[in-house]
Amino acid sequence: MKAPLALIVLLLLLLWQGVHMLAGPDALAPPLQTIAYLGAQLPTPEFQAHILATGSAFALAVAIAIAGGLAIGLATGLSQTATEVVEPLLLAGNSIPKIALYPIVLLLFGIGMPAKVAFGAIHGVIPVAIFTMSACRNIAPVLLKSAAVMRLSRLDRIGSILLPAALPEIVTGLRMGFSLTLIGTVLGEMFGAQSGLGYLLMTAIGLQNTQVIMAVTLLLVVFAAGVSTALLAYERRLRSRT
């Protein structure tokens, strides 16, 4: 498992270097230079302010997305009718290009923190809800029957049967929700913000500064891939028990 991960990182770096050599430095800063630049930028207060701005907005957005998604998923997943009513609507919501809604978010919340939090949360809440709902529905009926036979209370049923049984699939939803919320938050910063990594990215795109573009992208990718891989490992461990 370890070896392929290192190998794929190496291959991606080589691909990056290759595209840099083919497309030229105007299109793409080379990997080593980008890493060095990122290393030099990370300790500066300006860069840290951007990270903090994105980080705090993202933390809030992901908390809202997870809480909202779990609430919707659990509330509807426990009822067959509610699931049948809500699931197609959620799937349709998932297929909407959310960027088209961004102007509305900006008009409602104004430029700044609330808008990017809202836009991030909009991206994450639906996948969490969909996976939670499907996790509840996929629980083996025999487990619920056993809970009934053991005369567990409603709360106990949810706490000791439903959540543990549904957890692996819920974690899948959290992983999706996490990734999409991050993308949503950064996208939100690209238009409606004066600070943050998305703002930095958009300014760099305007100035064609590929070094900043690649440095910010690298930082985001490493963070997203790192957390996503950790969640995936946790998910695999949960699933291997069943």
Partner 1 sequence: MSRARRIALYQALAVAIPVLLLEVACRVGLIQPLTMPTPSSMVVGLVEILASGRINAAILKTLANVAAAFVLASVAGVALGALLHRAAPVRRLLEPLFSTYYAIPIYAFYPLFIVVFGLGDAPQVLIGFMLALVAVIVSTLNGLDSVPRVLIKTARVCRMNAVQTATQVTLPYAAPHLFTGVKLAAAYSFIGVIGAEFIMSQSGLGYEIRFAFDNLDNQVMYPLILLILVVSVTVNFTLDHWDKALRARRGAAR
Where does this chain bind partner 1 (CB under 8 A)?
4-5, 7-8, 11-12, 19, 23-24, 26-28, 81, 84-86, 88-89, 91-92, 94-104, 106-108, 176, 178-180, 182-183, 186-187, 190, 201, 205, 208, 210, 213, 216-217, 220-221, 224-225, 227-229, 232
Q: Least separation, in Å, of the C-beta of 150 and partner 1?
A: 29
Structure tokens at 160: 């000791």
Q: By C-beta, is 100 or 155 nearer to partner 1?
A: 100
Q: Least separation, in Å, of the C-beta of 97 and partner 1?
A: 4
Residue with tokens 């961004």: 102
Q: Least separation, in Å, of the C-beta of 82 and partner 1?
A: 9
Q: Least separation, in Å, of the C-beta of 228 and partner 1?
A: 4
Q: Least separation, in Å, of the C-beta of 16 and partner 1?
A: 10
Q: By C-beta, is 45 or 206 nearer to partner 1?
A: 206
Q: By C-beta, is 79 or 153 nearer to partner 1?
A: 79
